[in-house]
Structure 1
């Protein structure tokens, strides 16, 4: 069975839903394909920095999320070895930072879309050229013919592969993330606490008065091989690596239910591949983790996905809404195709250098933060810590613009 759709977005993640919502705000319909049978909420929470809030406001859901999540007041870096702060960075009024519950974010995006926009259980098997159109072959046998194909299908993107990108590379580090919903008020200050040293990096941040998100990154070794398959061993491994930390913070990890932890290897896309790769080709483009998978060290993965969604919706809508001179239908279709190609090229131009910068900075920051070398550890704790904290704010000083910009 073949179905015709003007715009198909593969992946109902942050980038995919933001792009679809941006188009919807501009009166343009899209179809979002999701391979799972429901919205994906793995990962528990995101750090949403100033640039993300600008994008959330543009698509009209910023205030909904503000009501459910506490604003953070500062970032505190702490040495695992000594337990003492090495840097403190207060968030001024111009810096809006909150830790957002992933489930709440995804459901809020999804609820703002018209019914039927998201098609679940729709796994893309392969993509085929058909003139200017693209044929999307689904696992259930359905074939979608579309004028525009947008890949927001994550680090293992089928669309990115179609555009010639290779699979993201492993960085030699792993991440464990968890979430705790406390029955009573947790009592943590509205601060982003991050700890460094002894080869690990971890952080604890409240989302609201009861929910607390944490992450823990480390360099896997033969001694801890296999812990990802055993949640109990995973938890015990973390507790032995926390170092000199307050009982309040340690209790957060101890309270974490074994079912509320996930393990993953950290991946990223080489900057030079972003420099030379085809972010868009003809009527196909990629966004979010399909474009710029990065390490989590500057907290910009979800934020940049929101940015990209707004930029993509704006440039694509401008191309589709531009009026043509009345003429033969064949000529009008040709002009529209050319405008779609140019619109996606404009998107690619806007996002290329931003993506390269984010991926590169995240990798370098992660290397410095997680290093266990004596010299780098000394410089990090005594000299570089404040500079690294300031980088997080610098990366968040980006404005994706409005949906109405052309």
Structure 2
């Protein structure tokens, strides 16, 4: 099948209106290609509060035409400070304004709802169909896919793009390995200061003693923080309420000798609706030979590369996916080149395969080292590894997904 045979909105269906889904839809729209986005929720999902948005993500946002809007709504981080759990002192500090391989580094803590709204507002009305959960996929004639929705209706499409998260129906269709539990969990919160919080725009990170935590201002009034840990029997019940979860986080952070003003941010915070979430990842080696795309079906975002949050690259890589997929598929639809739909999606899979393997594997290893309470690992982390890991983070964030 040639790409130019794909002509109308129903011919390209994107499952999931998260970061990856909306970025892909907007990229296709910018290229003049229509798509339909199916979202299971009745409205735009904005859970999770915020996420670190690095230089690679801003390159993708610029390609999509909303980079400057996101910049104006958030503050740029000036430095990354990694604190030692044993002394409470700064073990490593990196200047985030210094130039990297492709120019100055760039990082903001972007509020998820603002980003999703910015993506949504750039799409034509009717692109997103809410309350439309896909429960199964059937192949009718080798190219046409019949999507059964939760309400019993059937939608037929030629191209199906799975952006439906870590429990992706589309990933199961492609036979991707089931995500594994990392043995760690996370909670997060957002502190709001109507009159201004007064914190400097720095990314603060506290590691060790079995915990990993960080915080960063989103803007002048909001501060986002996260806390990861390895649950044990003695932690049972900490997620029964926001109050008990806060006390668990605070008592753990006090053991890391965290400054009092940081503890005050947690005290003030609104907690996530999901108090504790298990951290899961797709085994990176499973993606080496996996079918990221097959025929006219592919996956992006967490449906492709669920990873632990230790590089702050989950949302960033989803934006990369969206731009690259929109370029590969969009060019094919427009008849640029001589490839068919399958070739266009295959090119996207080729580009994203090793990037996904690298990000998942590195994130997992970074989390193990930073959270470890082993005395030897802790010594190396404070003396040597903090700088190595921080520089590795910046290198991975210097990726360029290109333009549409």
Same fold (TM > 0.5): yes
1:203 is aligned to 2:203? no
In 2: Cα distance, 1:136 partner to 1:167 partner: 21
The runs of 5 or more residues in structure 2 that have no matched partner are: 1-7
Aligned runs of 1:115-134 on 2, under 5 Å?
Answer: 115-131=125-141, 132-134=143-145
1:11 is aligned to 2:11? no
In 2: Cα distance, 1:277 partner to 1:217 partner: 29
> Which residue of structure 2 aligns with residue 245 of structure 1?
258
**Residue by residue, what CA displacement relative to the aligned partner does 1:246-301 show, whole Å, maximum 9, x if unpaired?**
12111100111356673200000001211111000000000000000000001110
Which of 197, 216, 231 is the matching residue for 2:227? Answer: 216
Which of 52, 56, 64 is the matching residue for 1:51? Answer: 56
Which of 243, 256, 259 is the matching residue for 2:269? Answer: 256
**Residue by residue, what CA displacement relative to the aligned partner does 1:303-334 show, whole Å, maximum 9, x if unpaired?**
0000000000000011111179xxxxxxxxxx
> Which residue of structure 2 aligns with residue 186 of structure 1?
197
1:80–1:242 contact (8 Å) kept in structure 2: no
Shift of 1:231: 1.9
In 2: Cα distance, 1:142 partner to 1:246 partner: 55
Structure 1 stretch displaced more, 280-289 or 165-174: 165-174
> Which residue of structure 2 aligns with residue 290 of structure 1?
303
1:178–1:260 contact (8 Å) kept in structure 2: no
> Which residue of structure 1 aligns with residue 370 of structure 2?
369
Query: Structure 1 residues 261 and 154 mapped into 2: Cα distance closer, same or farther (>3 Å)?
Result: closer
**Residue by residue, what CA displacement relative to the aligned partner does 1:28-86 show, whole Å, maximum 9, x if unpaired?**
11000100111111110010100000000000000111111001111000023321110
Which of 82, 90, 108 is the matching residue for 2:87? Answer: 82
Question: Moved runs in structure 1, 4+ residues, more than 6 A?
Answer: none
> Which residue of structure 2 aligns with residue 175 of structure 1?
186
Which of 110, 114, 117 is the matching residue for 2:120? Answer: 110
In 2: Cα distance, 1:323 partner to 1:301 partner: 31
Structure 1 stretch displaced more, 180-189 or 289-298: 180-189
In 2: Cα distance, 1:323 partner to 1:391 partner: 37
In 2: Cα distance, 1:71 partner to 1:286 partner: 31
Shift of 1:360: 0.6
1:148–1:283 contact (8 Å) kept in structure 2: yes
1:283–1:340 contact (8 Å) kept in structure 2: yes
**Residue by residue, what CA displacement relative to the aligned partner does 1:165-218 show, whole Å, maximum 9, x if unpaired?**
132100000000111111221011100000012111100100000000000000
The runs of 5 or more residues in structure 1 that have no matched partner are: 325-334
**Residue by residue, what CA displacement relative to the aligned partner does 1:142-179 show, whole Å, maximum 9, x if unpaired?**
21111100000000000000101132100000000111
Q: What SS does the corresponding residue of 2:47 show, helix, strand or coil?
A: coil
> Which residue of structure 1 aligns with residue 77 of structure 2?
72
1:380 is aligned to 2:381? yes
Shift of 1:230: 2.3
Which of 276, 285, 305 is the matching residue for 2:318? Answer: 305
TM (norm. structure 1) is 0.93
Which of 13, 22, 27 is the matching residue for 2:27? Answer: 22
1:4–1:144 contact (8 Å) kept in structure 2: no
Aligned residue pairs: how many?
389
Root mean square deviation, CA, Å = 1.5
In 2: Cα distance, 1:299 partner to 1:221 partner: 25
> Which residue of structure 2 aligns with residue 332 of structure 1?
none
2:13–2:161 contact (8 Å) kept in structure 1: yes
Q: What SS does the corresponding residue of 1:242 show, helix, strand or coil?
A: helix
Shift of 1:346: 0.4
In 2: Cα distance, 1:159 partner to 1:260 partner: 26
Aligned runs of 1:84-99 on 2, under 5 Å?
Answer: 84-91=89-96, 92-93=98-99, 94-99=104-109
In 2: Cα distance, 1:310 partner to 1:320 partner: 15
In 1: Cα distance, 2:105 partner to 2:9 partner: 44
